[in-house]
């Protein structure tokens, strides 16, 4: 079956530093979604990418979908303490959704 | 703003007992998902409904887990009998119609099996 892997597992940064998490799928994805889960909370949708090579920005967050639609990345510029949480990528394979293992981001003020 | 409702929020049960979780998706959402999330891991899909029909339940341990969405609205996930390894967060999510729509998650049910 499909596997969705994310690296790194953890990232500790100083406030103001940049952060990137990478997502790799064993199969081609029709689309990829990114979610953020705050400590003690539930996943919250951030964005969806559909097209090969697509790049989308949300303020300080930049999302990219690879040309082969098998990998994706999330980059945060100048992290803030409000960025703390776990970031998950997720993609479907024959109607079944697979979530990555997540990257836990900690931001030191 | 519409939200996915889940109850109970917390459940402590002894092993071999039966437990049930309830989920009420956002009105009009045809697709409903049940996930299990172990601490430090990503959500794992247990079952997916499209209206009242099961789309995928390949990861549902069918010897002890069951799920239904009889009228295509709210849903129940049951475990009988519960085992120690079932301790986890059980998340329900809904989306408008399938994989191209964002999923809205409920607050989850934290299950502890003793």
Q: Mean pLDDT across the stretch A71-85?
A: 98
Q: What CATH number is associated with residue B47? A: 2.60.40.10
Chain A residues closer than 8 Å to B107 by CB = 42
Q: How many domains does chain A have?
A: 1
Strand order in the sheet with A55-58: A4-7, A19-25, A71-76, A61-65, A55-58
Chain A residues closer than 8 Å to B35 by CB = 99
Give the structural domain span for B79.
5-113
How many other CB atoms sit within 10 Å of the CB of residue A8?
13
Q: Please, are residues A15 and A40 in contact by the beta-carbon 8 Å criterion?
A: no
Q: How many domains does chain B have?
A: 1
Closest CA to B37 of A12, A102, A94, A29: A102
Q: Mean pLDDT across the stretch B83-98?
A: 95
Q: Determine whether the interchain pair B42/A48 forms a contact, defined as Cβ–Cβ distance below 8 Å.
A: no
Q: Mean pLDDT across the stretch B72-80?
A: 96
pLDDT of res. B70? 86
Q: What CATH number is associated with residue A42? A: 2.60.40.10
Which among B91, B103, B106 has the least Cβ separation from residue A45? B103
Chain A contacts in chain B segment 26-45 (CB below 8 A) = 33, 35, 41-45
Confidence category of residue A1, pLDDT binned at 50, 70, 90? low
Return the sign of the alpha-carbon dihedral for residues B78, B45, A47, B9. positive
**A-B contacts (CB, under 8 Å):** 56
Q: Give dist(CA B46, CA A96) in Å, integer.
A: 10
Q: Smallest CA–CA separation between B42 and chain A, in Å?
A: 4
| Confidence check: pLDDT of A9 > 90 | yes
């Amino acid at each position: 079956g499909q596997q969705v892997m994310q690296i790194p597992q953890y990232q500790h940064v100083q406030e103001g530093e940049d952060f990137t998490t990478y997502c790799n799928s064993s199969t081609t994805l029709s689309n990829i979604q990114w979610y953020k889960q705050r400590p003690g909370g539930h996943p919250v949708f951030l964005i969806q990418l559909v097209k090969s090579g697509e790049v989308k920005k949300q303020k300080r967050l930049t999302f990219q979908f690879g040309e082969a639609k098998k990998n994706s990345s999330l980059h945060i510029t100048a992290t803030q303490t409000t960025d703390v949480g776990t970031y998950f990528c997720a993609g479907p394979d024959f109607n079944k959704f697979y979530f990555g293992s997540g990257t836990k981001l900690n931001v030191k003020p | 703003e519409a939200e996915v409702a889940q109850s109970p929020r917390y459940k402590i049960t002894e092993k071999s007992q039966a437990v049930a979780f309830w989920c009420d998706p956002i009105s009009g959402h045809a697709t409903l998902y049940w996930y299990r999330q172990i601490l430090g891991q990503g959500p794992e899909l247990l079952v997916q409904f499209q209206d009242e029909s099961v789309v995928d339940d390949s990861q549902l341990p069918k010897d002890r887990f069951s799920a239904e969405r009889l009228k295509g609205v709210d849903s129940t996930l049951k475990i009988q009998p519960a085992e120690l390894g079932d301790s986890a967060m059980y998340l329900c999510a809904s989306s408008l119609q399938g994989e191209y729509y964002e999923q809205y998650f409920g607050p989850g049910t934290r299950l502890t099996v003793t």
